[in-house]
Structure 1
Amino acid sequence: MIDFLRGPIVHLENEYVIVDMQGIGYRVFCPNPYAWMKEAGEVTIYTHHYVREDAIQLFGFPTRDEQKLFRKLIEVSGIGPRVALGILSGGSPEGVVTAIYQENITFLTKLPGIGKKTAQRMILDLKDKLGGIGDSLITTGLFAPAISTNTSGEVWPEVRDGLKALGYTDTELDRIWQTLKHEVFPDDTADDVMKRALKMLYTG
């Protein structure tokens, strides 16, 4: 099994990155490929090597927690790799784990691809199997799970702060907001808007 890759990212698309491993390009599907675009030089991507009769795919994550949670999620009936990626794109590992511990169905059903029955199955199947994922934040009470929903169309300040933390300038952010503000919908989460913003910044 391929557990991680280390090398430069040479290409990004909406769903995956290409990592150059000594002249061989590995396609790695990620929750948010554009989050890697600020990384220069070699990166480490923790992977899950997924094999079935009609496909061999690599799924990759920036942290061990995301890798571990992905592997737990795909053990749940009805959750395949693509849905698991959607879950990780919609919530942090700590948020998802805490929601499962607290049986917070409202939180879980806001994640992409998750309905009420699947949320209930996640709680039933995983509640006692997630030790070690995000424990430092959960046990100290420093993390409160939440998905910021754009009910008032005002998630941009939160997204802007996140982008500034990645190193983007006020000028860059003001420029893309002029286009992005026309593509924000009432039910968008901050993560939805973040992904669109990162894509715009990457493509120019």
Structure 2
Amino acid sequence: MYDYIKGQVTRVTPEYVVLEQQGIGYQLLTPNPFAFRKSEEEIQVFLHFHVREDAQQLMGFLDLSQRELFRKLILVSGIGPKGALAILASGVPSHVIQAIEREDEAFLVKFPGVGKKTARQMILDLKGKLNDLMDAEQFTFESDGPTLFDDGQSTHDLEEAMLALTALGYSERELSKIRPLLKGNDTLQTTDDFMKKALQLLFSGK
């Protein structure tokens, strides 16, 4: 029904962004809201319209390949839209595809909400069916923005990243293990930086 929308990002939250187009603000659920930046510049966002009995939701993706992988994932039994967004939040769909092709269950179960049964189902349903996505050039989120932040801003960005990870399904116990590593890393300057590093640490088991 919808393919894409062009507009201005007017709000960014840990769970969704608002894209304004012709005076209407569209609430878009997205893998990593902090990959977006509030700006007067018009951007293009690829859409997926999800309908269920109690809700109608728009999902937004900065990259077409992300949306296509999302659509593949929600066809797997045991994976809903929220689970698919959590998988894509790592920003590296190519790693997900490679894990499916290698039948790497140990990698797949690191995603929140993905147990051994669901990981096995992902492999059974999707192995050999994602090769067209492997050829896509853009898999990662773009990260633009200021490079200098004071300590107060850095702490604020860290807390926003923690809220976003909680929304994706990570537990406070998991996040408490990596928080000191994030807080002590001076190279992390934006919420998106904190998100990406946090996901790397979560997937490495630290």
TM-score in terms of structure 2 length:
0.71
Q: In structure 1, what residue type is equivalent to 2:149?
A: E
Counterparts of 1:68 and 1:18 in 2: how far apart (Å)? 21
1:48: Cα distance to partner?
Answer: 0.4
State how many pairs are aligned: 173
The aligned residue for residue 198 of structure 1 is: 191
If asked which structure has higher relative contact order (CA below 8 Å, sep 6+), I would say: 2
Q: CA RMSD in A?
A: 3.5
Counterparts of 1:46 and 1:76 in 2: how far apart (Å)? 21
The aligned residue for residue 126 of structure 2 is: 126
Structure 1 residues 58-67 or 106-115, which shifts more? 106-115
The aligned residue for residue 166 of structure 1 is: 144
Structure 1 residues 62-71 or 87-96, which shifts more? 87-96
Counterparts of 1:178 and 1:55 in 2: how far apart (Å)? 34
Per the alignment, do residues 195 and 37 of structure 1 end up closer, same or farther by CA in structure 2, a change over 3 Å counting?
Answer: farther
The aligned residue for residue 154 of structure 1 is: none
Counterparts of 1:68 and 1:29 in 2: how far apart (Å)? 15
Q: Structure 2, unaligned stretches of length 5 or more?
A: 163-174, 195-206
1:25: Cα distance to partner?
Answer: 1.1
Counterparts of 1:112 and 1:196 in 2: how far apart (Å)? 25
Counterparts of 1:185 and 1:106 in 2: how far apart (Å)? 22
The aligned residue for residue 83 of structure 2 is: 83
The aligned residue for residue 5 of structure 1 is: 5
Per the alignment, do residues 175 and 25 of structure 1 end up closer, same or farther by CA in structure 2, a change over 3 Å counting?
Answer: closer
Please give the secondary structure, in 1, of the residue aligned with 2:96. helix
Counterparts of 1:78 and 1:46 in 2: how far apart (Å)? 24
Out of 177, 183, 192, the residue aligned to residue 186 of structure 1 is 177
Q: In structure 2, what residue type is equivalent to 1:166?
A: D
Structure 1 contact 176–200 (Cα < 8 Å) conserved: no
CA shift digits 1:138-161 (9 cap, x unpaired): xxxxx9xxxxxxxxxxxxxxxxxx
Q: In structure 1, what residue type is equivalent to 2:122?
A: M
Q: Aligned residues: percent identity?
A: 42
Structure 1 contact 93–133 (Cα < 8 Å) conserved: no
TM-score in terms of structure 1 length:
0.72
The aligned residue for residue 55 of structure 2 is: 55
Q: Structure 1, unaligned stretches of length 5 or more?
A: 138-142, 144-161
Q: In structure 2, what residue type is equivalent to 1:198?
A: T
Structure 1 contact 32–195 (Cα < 8 Å) conserved: no
Counterparts of 2:134 and 2:192 in 1: how far apart (Å)? 28
